[in-house]
Amino acid sequence: MAQTSVSSNPRRTSSRHAGLDRDDVVEAALLLVDEGGPEALTMRRLAGKLGVATTTIYWHVGSRDDVVDAVIRRHGERQAEHAVSGDTARQRVMSVARHLRDEALAHRGITRLAELHGETSVLNEHLEVAMARELTTAGVVGEDARDALRAILICVGGFLVVAMRNEAAIPPDHSRTAVWSRVDDPNVDPSTRLALTTQVDLPVLFERTVQAIVDTHVPEA
């Protein structure tokens, strides 16, 4: 257990000091990712934040991949239980889907890290369980529940990818609106071409699309 903060300890060559442990490293890494995204997590930067050498990170946690795993797991454990709302099973499932999206966007750095490492299930375990619970209550069980859960999560994931896309990093002539500004296909309605140069209302489209999927899996109450 840390008795003093790391940063207050004077640093001596090859000097051992009290207090730095694995949790300190993982917490510092989590903050780096939460604030600056996956790219902000480098071993030198993390070591600098902790006031130690990179080798200390390797000792306490391991490689960068090990640090990433630990960050995702730690954040996943922190996912708050939320009050599911709604009168019908469909509404309750939608409630969980919205919460999953909102949590993901509130911590988009961690979400992108989990996505890059294919570990979104670790991150979202509590919410996936919550959704499975609602499906059970709705009478959707077994492989039907598995398919429902997968389909909803895949769709929510698709929306997250788009919502988290850093538009500023895309060359202006490669953005969706730029691409469609150049399209001149007479078989595409002009009002469609015009509309496709404008931004879509993602939250509205999210509601409509996820609801459509929920409706095919969850019976009407």
Partner DNA sequence: GGAAGTATGTGACAGTGTTCAAGACAGCAG
Partner DNA sequence: CTGCTGTCTTGAACACTGTCACATACTTCC
* Interface positions with a copy of itself (CB under 8 A): 69, 72-73, 115, 117-119, 121-122, 125, 128-129, 132-133, 135-137, 141-143, 145-147, 149-151, 154-159, 161-162, 165-167, 169-171, 174-176, 179-180, 183, 185, 187-189, 191-196, 198, 200, 205, 208-209, 212-213, 215-216
Q: How far apart are CA 80 and CA 91, in angstroms?
A: 20
Contact between 196 and 184 (Cβ < 8 Å): no
Structure tokens at 154: 């895949």
Contact between 32 and 40 (Cβ < 8 Å): yes
Binds 20: which of DNA, a copy of itself, none (CB < 5-8 Å by kind): DNA
In this complex, which beta carbon is closest to a copy of itself, that of residue 52 or of residue 210?
210
Q: Which residue has the tokens 């930067």?
A: 45
**181 near DNA (CB under 7 A):** no
Q: How far apart are CA 54 and CA 88, in angstroms?
A: 53
CA-nearest of 44, 214, 42, 47 to 135 is: 214
Q: Supply the minimum distance, in Å, between the C-beta of residue 87 and a copy of itself.
A: 19
Q: Supply the minimum distance, in Å, between the C-beta of residue 104 and DNA.
A: 23
Q: Is 157 exposed, middle or buried (0-12, 13-18, 19+ CB in 10 A)?
A: middle
Contact between 19 and 6 (Cβ < 8 Å): yes
Binds 14: which of DNA, a copy of itself, none (CB < 5-8 Å by kind): DNA
**4 near DNA (CB under 7 A):** no
The binder of DNA chosen from 33, 41, 70, 114 (CB under 7 A): 41
Please give the residue ranges that form the binding site for DNA (CB under 7 A). 11-21, 41-45, 47, 51-56, 58-60, 63-65
